[in-house]
Amino acid sequence: MSNSAMQPTQQLANAIQPTTQLRRQPTGENLRRGTAPLGAPNSFPGTERTHTEILDALTNTPTRGYRPVGTSSITFEVKLGAMRGAFRPASRSHPRGHTAEIAAYRIARYLQMDNVPPVVARSVRIRRVRRQLTRSPPGWERRVIREGNELPGAMIYWIEGMEDLDLEDRDDWQPWLLQGTEVPEEKRAMARDISNMLVLDFLIGNFDRFSGRNTARTRDGSRAFVRDHNQAFRPLNARLLDRMLNRLMLAERFSERTVSRLRRLNPQSLDHALSEEPTHQARPVLNEREMREVLDRAATVRTYIDALLEEHGRSAVLTFP
């Protein structure tokens, strides 16, 4: 980490203290549906399909051909007409993993990120899954959570043609996010994507980004895909929070649009963003504790960015559109 990143550390640590006041406020009235608009629909990177078109297909297209693909969690690749999806049912080991995927996507869309795979809540008949399984994972029916004859879960857009993005070798990408370095023009979109990823991961409490194959890129290497959020929104102990804080501080440059949206994130705009998922009113995507913690972490991110702005200036910190 550069010396410039170390200087605002104390301010950042202090920021966590005032945000805890949010936990003491009454939540019922504060969590009413808000009116903050989302950005206009745009195409998902690497395809001409818009997010709206993909969401419609994920919601309404009949499924066929369930193929098990999960490792640590139960996930099925399914065919949805001309495209594919990943169906992640509620499971006993990850009972809220599918809702975490939905919430992460909706918060990413609030930030106007276009590179998180679209996802919707969807239930499928368990006998349909049985009938269409290409092979049966051992004990899978004991591991899922049923609601009568249905399997509730999340249907996630299957990204075609993606390739692994190795984040472990930070020398390949971190210099783009540090003050005083040049960002090659052909890498600016990728640098912005990684910066946005670090912000999103901190907001949603996604502590396992750097483990497993949960980040990918387009074939030409120009864009990153930010996926796999079933571990997000869990309570974070001090060790995990410190780890995530250190990862956030890998970035000293940010998207001006993302920061602008982040400054307007409040209980009403967060609830409105989640309400873009049609099932949210009947079954809230996040509970009140999870929503408060997102807002707490958003305040911490804002304080960190403000410290960088004070030290380096707007044009140096808000480098990306």
CB 107 within 8 A of CB 294: yes
- Owning domain of residue 150: 51-157
Angle between helices 97-110 and 188-204 in degrees, nearest 10: 130
pLDDT for the residue 125: 96
pLDDT for the residue 17: 42
Q: Indicate whether 46 belongs to any domain.
A: no
Residues 216, 282 share a domain: yes
236 has pLDDT over 60: yes
Residues 76, 142 share a domain: yes
Residues 199, 104 share a domain: no
pLDDT for the residue 135: 87
Q: Indicate whether 44 belongs to any domain.
A: no
Instruction: Name the pTM for this structure.
Output: 0.88
Of 104, 126, 157, the one marking the end of a domain is 157
Tally the domains of the chain: 2
Tens of pLDDT, residues 205-230: 999 888 756 789 999 999 999 999 99
Tens of pLDDT, residues 69-94: 966 678 999 999 999 999 999 999 88
Q: Indicate whether 99 belongs to any domain.
A: yes
pLDDT for the residue 34: 29
Residues 208, 152 share a domain: no
* Selected residue with higher pLDDT from 158 and 40: 158
pLDDT for the residue 27: 29
Tens of pLDDT, residues 164-198: 898 888 899 999 999 999 999 999 999 999 999 99
Q: Indicate whether 96 belongs to any domain.
A: yes
- The predicted model gives 128-156 an average pLDDT of 93
273 has pLDDT over 90: yes
The percent of residues in the chain predicted with pLDDT above 70, rounded, is 85
CB-count burial class (<10 Å; 0-12, 13-18, 19+) for 128: middle
Only one residue has tokens 């809220």, namely 96
23 has pLDDT over 60: no
Residues 246, 166 share a domain: yes
Which secondary structure element, helix H or strand E, spans residue 306, and what is its range? helix 288-312
Residues 79, 221 share a domain: no
CB 208 within 8 A of CB 214: yes
CB 75 within 8 A of CB 82: no
Of 157, 177, 199, the one marking the end of a domain is 157
Residues 120, 244 share a domain: no
1 has pLDDT over 90: no
pLDDT for the residue 26: 30
Residues 151, 56 share a domain: yes
pLDDT for the residue 21: 35
Residues 69, 192 share a domain: no
pLDDT for the residue 42: 84
Residues 215, 120 share a domain: no
pLDDT for the residue 214: 75
Which secondary structure element, helix H or strand E, spans residue 99, and what is its range? helix 97-110
Q: Indicate whether 45 belongs to any domain.
A: no
Q: Indicate whether 178 belongs to any domain.
A: yes
Angle at 99 between CA 95 and CA 101, to 5 degrees: 115
Residues 120, 32 share a domain: no
C-alpha–C-alpha distance, residues 321 and 128, integer Å: 45
C-alpha–C-alpha distance, residues 123 and 89, integer Å: 8
The percent of residues in the chain predicted with pLDDT above 90, rounded, is 77
pLDDT for the residue 14: 52
Residues 173, 281 share a domain: yes
pLDDT for the residue 70: 67
Beta pairing, strands 215-217 & 163-164? antiparallel
CA 197 to chain centre: 8
**What are the Cα distances from residue 299, in Å, to 18, 36, 115, 271?**
9, 18, 24, 17
> What is the CATH number for 108?
3.30.200
CB 267 within 8 A of CB 284: no
Q: Indicate whether 198 belongs to any domain.
A: yes
Of 140, 157, 174, the one marking the end of a domain is 157
pLDDT for the residue 16: 43
C-alpha–C-alpha distance, residues 76 and 74, integer Å: 7
pLDDT for the residue 198: 97
39 has pLDDT over 60: no
pLDDT for the residue 210: 81
Only one residue has tokens 């971190």, namely 174
Mean pLDDT, the chain, rounded, equals 87
Q: Indicate whether 42 belongs to any domain.
A: no
244 has pLDDT over 60: yes
Residue 177 has phi, psi (to 5 degrees) of: -100, 0
Tens of pLDDT, residues 97-120: 999 999 999 999 999 999 999 999
